[in-house]
Copies of this chain bind each other. A is one copy, B any other.
Amino acid sequence: MEKINVGILGCGIVGTGVAKLLMEKEKLLESRIGTVINLKNIADIDTEKDRGIKFKKGVMISDAFKIISDPDIDIIVELIGGNKIAKDLTIQALENGKHVVTANKALLASFGNELVKTARQNQVDLAFEASCGGCMPVVKTLRESLVGNCIKSITGIFNGTCNYILTKMSNEKCPFHDALQQAQEKGFAEADPTLDIEGFDSAHKLAILTSLAYGMEINLDDIHVEGITRISPMDIEFAKEFGYTIKLLAISKNNSDNIEAHVHPAMIPFSNPLSHVNNSMNAVIIDGDATGQTMLYGYGAGMMPTASAVVSDIADIARNLIKGTKRRVPILGCPESNIRTIPIQPVKKIHTCYYFRFTAADQPGVLSKISGILGDFGISIKTVHQKGKRSNGYVPIVMITHMAKEEHALNALKGIASLETIMDDPIVIRIEE
């Protein structure tokens, strides 16, 4: 093949990065792939903006529909983002017989099953390495490198904004809102950070990876999601004393007959390699029954790391096209006919260890009442400390429990919160040992 034509939809940060890579690395890519990967067109509403990149005349256009219907273009790269126009364009591109590469986790998490079906009907590829964990090759690792493994669990730090904020809070003992503001000033957090700090971005990625890991349909709706806004420097300090770091984790576990999938802040021991993943870095531990725990670590976002992942997908499809083939690796890791619907267990059914912090009246008998209620629900305490300074006659009581069922923990906490000697809602953080 003389060359393979690529069309990019959206020239935002990642679109610019992909265009840069394709143009600046044209020779390198040709030397590795054996064919020129040619950026034929890139579409954006704003064709005039200076993006620090000089396109040849006619490459930048405003009409995305022209690109997806161009018979000369083999691969469409969707980098618009969001669920609206991006969805329409992606589906039309697939229906036009184009292979599609996307970094759009929100789109995949919500409409991935429909897109996979459309790709199958039109016998084209849909690739999305950049949607989960930036440049970390997590999709390729799950679909190809771990093909001989039953995946037991995935535990990931998939949101750089949250990790930056939690690292900042931990290092500088500053409250959440100060850390968020610094993250915004440094460009690590969006003006509206809701998607990140409330855990939804991590949930999008977890929905995709859970599907790949266990051969099941993408299911975003049943993933339990909590963000990091309730984490305080006090809890981070207590965690350290117990030997833990607090991270926003996306977790899925294979319980054979069902799957767990939940996103929330969690305490992990210093011995867990994820506890050393700081600032805006991402990492994921995949536990395979043959490999044991294996970890990928890298930049989970940013112009060039994300562009690198997009280009790896383009190269994968190009290497197929050169060999006259396509759809070599099934989109979700196994042929669509083998994709199952496996229920995601409600979070109240999971078993885990807990960190609780109560604000309790500094008077005799309080601890006995708390531990009595926990005992009534079968929850046994591993460690308890009355820590820190008395304030207005109240002191923090922190404890670590042994394994307990989530719904028992929640019911016990309801009982404890209703005690007259307890002020404020208890703080609850799950522990991943």
Contact A290 B31 (CB under 8 A): no
Which of B146, B296, B305, B308 touches A295 (beta carbons < 8 Å)?
A: B296
Q: Judge whether A350 is part of the interface by a CB distance below 8 angstroms.
A: no
Stretch from A169-177, A235-243, A330-338 at the B interface:
A330-338
**Interface-centre pick from A32, A292, A329 (highest chain B CB count, 10 A):** A32
Q: Interface residues of A, CB < 8 Å — how many?
A: 61
Q: A328-B323, A329-B319 are in contact. Are A29 and B147 (CB under 8 A)?
A: yes
Q: Which residue of chain B lies nearest to A316 when distances are taken between CB atoms in the complex?
A: B144
Contact B137 A137 (CB under 8 A): yes
Q: Judge whether A145 is part of the interface by a CB distance below 8 angstroms.
A: yes
Contact A299 B308 (CB under 8 A): no
Over the window 103-138 of chain A, the binary record of Cβ atoms lying under 8 Å from chain B Cβ atoms (1 yes, 0 no) is 000000000000000000000000001000001110
Cα–Cα distance between A21 and B324 once the two chains are bound (Å): 31
Q: Judge whether A293 is part of the interface by a CB distance below 8 angstroms.
A: yes
Q: Judge whether A291 is part of the interface by a CB distance below 8 angstroms.
A: yes
Over the window 289-303 of chain A, the binary record of Cβ atoms lying under 8 Å from chain B Cβ atoms (1 yes, 0 no) is 111111111110010
Contact B328 A148 (CB under 8 A): no
Contact B298 A292 (CB under 8 A): yes
CB neighbours (8 Å) of A309 from chain B are 145
Q: Judge whether A184 is part of the interface by a CB distance below 8 angstroms.
A: no
Least distance between A143 CB and chain B CB atoms (Å):
8
Query: Which residues between 14 and 40 of chain A lie within 8 Å of chain B, taking CB atoms?
Result: 17, 21, 25, 28-29, 31-34
Judged by DSSP, the binding face of A is mixed
Cα–Cα distance between A248 and B136 once the two chains are bound (Å): 25
Contact B148 A25 (CB under 8 A): yes
Contact A144 B140 (CB under 8 A): yes
**Interface-centre pick from A135, A299, A305 (highest chain B CB count, 10 A):** A135
Number of copies: 2
CB neighbours (8 Å) of A363 from chain B are none
Which of B25, B148, B215, B304 touches A308 (beta carbons < 8 Å)?
A: B148
Q: Which residue of chain B lies nearest to A323 when distances are taken between CB atoms in the complex?
A: B325
Q: Judge whether A66 is part of the interface by a CB distance below 8 angstroms.
A: no
Least distance between A309 CB and chain B CB atoms (Å):
7
Q: Judge whether A382 is part of the interface by a CB distance below 8 angstroms.
A: no
Contact A304 B325 (CB under 8 A): no
Q: Judge whether A273 is part of the interface by a CB distance below 8 angstroms.
A: yes
Contact B296 A296 (CB under 8 A): yes
Contact B146 A308 (CB under 8 A): yes
Over the window 63-98 of chain A, the binary record of Cβ atoms lying under 8 Å from chain B Cβ atoms (1 yes, 0 no) is 000000000000000000000000000000000000
Contact A335 B29 (CB under 8 A): no
Contact B148 A141 (CB under 8 A): no
Q: Judge whether A320 is part of the interface by a CB distance below 8 angstroms.
A: yes
Query: Which residues between 254 and 290 of chain A lie within 8 Å of chain B, taking CB atoms?
Result: 273, 276-277, 283, 288-290
Over the window 347-369 of chain A, the binary record of Cβ atoms lying under 8 Å from chain B Cβ atoms (1 yes, 0 no) is 00000000000000000000000
Contact B333 A32 (CB under 8 A): yes
Which of B293, B297, B334 touches A31 (beta carbons < 8 Å)?
A: B334
Q: Could you give 6 example pairs across A and B, Cβ below 8 Å?
A: A32-B335, A147-B311, A147-B312, A290-B308, A294-B298, A295-B295
Given contacts A148-B315, A319-B329, 6 further A-B contacts (CB under 8 A): A140-B141, A144-B312, A283-B295, A290-B304, A292-B305, A295-B296
